[in-house]
């Protein structure tokens, strides 16, 4: 009888595991079907159009290297996104450092201020920046009243306006991963370094900064990837003079009906995003990239 029970236990455990797997698949399958239908299938359609319109082949992708207009758009996109990422991560690092070094009340207050703009539409924020930065806007009026400039400065309908608007929009996406990383750094390491004779700057440079590198990488990747496909703010603050890739894709498909070129650029943008995420994850590691900042 005991032998029969010992033989039955593995069978029962296997049956339970199979039952758990069946329940898990039953719960996950609707989400998988929805993702395949609404996300994966349209991507394959876009990929198919990019190699079949106006004729089958890779001629559309050859324009990445042959078309001067496309290369100017790509260069503009890369330049603005890199500058936006650098400024947003730098400002985000300062804000996050102040938050983690401050009191609980300060952290809650600053975090609420950081998160609040995420509830406001990007369209509303873009038009608000137009009001602030235009030639008769508040910024130019203040600069002239203070005697810093004698004529209105061009702060909108150009790269400057697009960069200002994008930095403002991307700043929370830089602060949140940096703050999450810095909050997990063990402050006793800094205290120990100071106790061993290190100055405040040395403790920051040799202890805190290396421990915060995963947060810097995470914030940089998030802001850069999000910036590459941004549409609303560049379209409004650029005024058609600063053309980035998302607006150029819309122009090709909606206005010029050039589906081949538009879908080719969309596929190239998607491939670039996946390549950046893959490279960052491979270099840093997914657990260290999105995990805590403390080391064992």
**Residue 57 maps to a domain:** no
**Residue 58 maps to a domain:** no
Q: For the segment 125-149, what is each residue's pLDDT rounded down to a tens digit? A: 999 999 999 988 899 999 888 888 8
Please tell me whether residues 199 and 272 are part of one structural domain: yes
Q: For the segment 110-123, what is each residue's pLDDT rounded down to a tens digit? A: 889 988 888 888 88
**Residue 60 maps to a domain:** no
User: pLDDT higher for 229 or 287?
Assistant: 229
Supply the pLDDT for residue 118.
Answer: 85
Please tell me whether residues 37 and 126 are part of one structural domain: no
**Residue 90 maps to a domain:** yes
Please tell me whether residues 151 and 112 are part of one structural domain: yes
Please tell me whether residues 156 and 245 are part of one structural domain: yes
Supply the pLDDT for residue 255.
Answer: 86
User: pLDDT higher for 16 or 154?
Assistant: 154
Is 223:85 a contact under the CB 8 Å cutoff?
yes
**Residue 173 maps to a domain:** yes
**Residue 295 maps to a domain:** no
Residue at token pair 């985000």: 92
Q: In the predicted model, is pLDDT for residue 13 greater than 80?
A: no
Please tell me whether residues 42 and 135 are part of one structural domain: no
Please tell me whether residues 3 and 116 are part of one structural domain: no
Q: For the segment 67-121, what is each residue's pLDDT rounded down to a tens digit? A: 899 999 999 999 999 999 999 999 999 999 999 988 888 889 988 998 888 888 8
**Residue 61 maps to a domain:** no
Please tell me whether residues 31 and 100 are part of one structural domain: no
- What range defines the domain where residue 243 resides? 66-290
Mean pLDDT in residue range 212-238: 91
Please tell me whether residues 92 and 42 are part of one structural domain: no
Instruction: Give Cα separations from 57 to 21, 60, 69 (angstroms).
Output: 44, 8, 21
Please report the beta strands in 130-245, taking only residues with DSSP state E, as ranges in sequence order: none
Supply the pLDDT for residue 129.
Answer: 93
Q: What is the mean pLDDT of the chain?
A: 85
Tally the domains of the chain: 2
User: pLDDT higher for 185 or 16?
Assistant: 185
Please tell me whether residues 15 and 134 are part of one structural domain: no
Q: In the predicted model, is pLDDT for residue 16 greater than 60?
A: no
Please tell me whether residues 129 and 161 are part of one structural domain: yes
**Residue 59 maps to a domain:** no
List Cβ neighbours of 163 (8 Å cut-off, separation of 6 or more): 80, 83, 84, 87
Which string of b and e fits 152-161 if b means at least 16 CB within 10 Å? eeebbbebeb
Please tell me whether residues 169 and 250 are part of one structural domain: yes
Instruction: Give Cα separations from 100 to 93, 217, 222 (angstroms).
Output: 11, 18, 21
């Amino acid at each position: 009888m005991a032998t029969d029970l010992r033989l039955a236990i593995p069978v029962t455990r296997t049956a339970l595991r199979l039952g758990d797997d069946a329940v898990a698949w039953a719960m996950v399958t609707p989400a998988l079907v929805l993702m395949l239908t609404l996300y994966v299938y349209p991507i394959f359609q876009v990929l198919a159009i990019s190699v079949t319109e106006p004729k089958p082949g890779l001629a559309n992708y050859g324009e990445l290297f042959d078309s001067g207009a496309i290369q100017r758009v790509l260069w503009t996109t890369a330049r603005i996104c890199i500058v936006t990422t650098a400024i947003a991560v730098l400002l985000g690092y300062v804000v996050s450092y102040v938050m983690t070094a401050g009191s609980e009340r300060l952290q809650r207050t600053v975090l609420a201020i950081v998160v609040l703009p995420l509830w406001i539409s990007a369209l509303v924020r873009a038009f608000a920046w137009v009001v602030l930065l235009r030639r008769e806007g508040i910024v130019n009026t203040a600069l002239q009243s203070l005697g810093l400039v004698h004529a209105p400065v061009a702060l909108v309908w150009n790269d400057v306006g697009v960069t200002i608007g994008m930095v403002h929009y991307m700043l929370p996406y830089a602060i949140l991963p940096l703050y999450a990383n810095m909050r997990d750094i063990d402050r006793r390491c800094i205290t120990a370094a100071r106790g061993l004779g290190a100055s405040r700057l040395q403790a920051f440079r040799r202890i805190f900064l290396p421990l915060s590198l995963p947060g810097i990488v995470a914030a940089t990747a998030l802001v850069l990837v999000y910036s590459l496909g941004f549409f609303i703010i560049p379209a409004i603050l650029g005024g058609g003079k600063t053309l980035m890739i998302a607006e150029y894709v819309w122009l090709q498909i909606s206005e010029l009906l050039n589906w081949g070129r538009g879908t080719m650029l969309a596929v190239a943008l998607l491939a670039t995003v996946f390549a950046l995420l893959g490279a960052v994850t491979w270099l840093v590691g997914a657990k260290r990239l999105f995990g805590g900042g403390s080391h064992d």
